Chain A
Amino acid sequence: GEEVAQTPKHLVRGEGQKAKLYCAPIKGHSYVFWYQQVLKNEFKFLISFQNENVFDETGMPKERFSAKCLPNSPCSLEIQATKLEDSAVYFCASSLRIGTPQAFFGQGTRLTVV
């Protein structure tokens, strides 16, 4: 597609439940990034993919968070056993290739953990 598509737009989970977020990058873009924005503050980098391979996961919390980008499927970010502090807007972005720092962002998924 012509834009990064994120679903769902809003997600509410009880503490301890699982949350799964999806992202379809722009067609032809090889790189996918996940960012977390808490309380409208700066964007915290979580993980990036080059096609289906993890490229950089230095921002991913070691526990509870996992992500995948499988061929012919939307990328996903999964949070096991959500905590209140996971409440945030999660943005996905894609870029054409490395060496092009400009990334295109989706509209975000607002996760609320209650």
Chain B
Amino acid sequence: DQQVKQNSPSLSVQEGRISILNCDYTNSMFDYFLWYKKYPAEGPTFLISISSIKDKNEDGRFTVFLNKSAKHLSLHIVPSQPGDSAVYFCAASGDSGNTPLVFGKGTRLSVIA
């Protein structure tokens, strides 16, 4: 039973355009959502997070939107750059971090120059 789902295994975007990565979850007890970026042969790197009491969090080119009623979040990257090409994992945490992160299966983003 997958609690965090990333339904698009891959996404291709042209350099300079917007990348939108989506994530759905089933457990309404999650109260923090995070995005991690992963390059091959490296560990995941934290990108951005959002608390369930907010609906938007922005950090430079990266913005995460949370729609609690739809149990859906998305990561927007604008403008996309070739260096953004990586696998992006959505993760969720309950109980303010007292429970381990639950990850989706990832979306591979390719930014084409």
A102 in the interface (beta carbon within 8 A): yes
Interface range for A: 20 to 34
Closest B residue, CB atoms, query A34:
B100
Does the CB pair A42–B97 fall under 8 Å?
Answer: no
A-B contact number at CB 8 A: 63
Interface range for B: 20 to 34
Mark the stretch among B11-19, B38-46, B62-70, B71-79 that contacts chain A. Answer: B38-46
Q: Using known A-B contacts A43-B89, A43-B103, determine if residue A104 contacts B98 with beta carbons closer than 8 Å.
A: no
Taken together as a complex, chains A and B put the C-alpha atoms of A107 and B43 apart, in Å, by 4
**Residues of chain A at the chain B interface (Cβ within 8 Å):** 4, 6, 33, 35, 40-43, 45, 48, 56, 59, 91, 93, 95, 98-108
A-B complex: 5 closest residue pairs judged by Cβ atoms = A105-B43, A101-B93, A101-B97, A45-B100, A101-B32
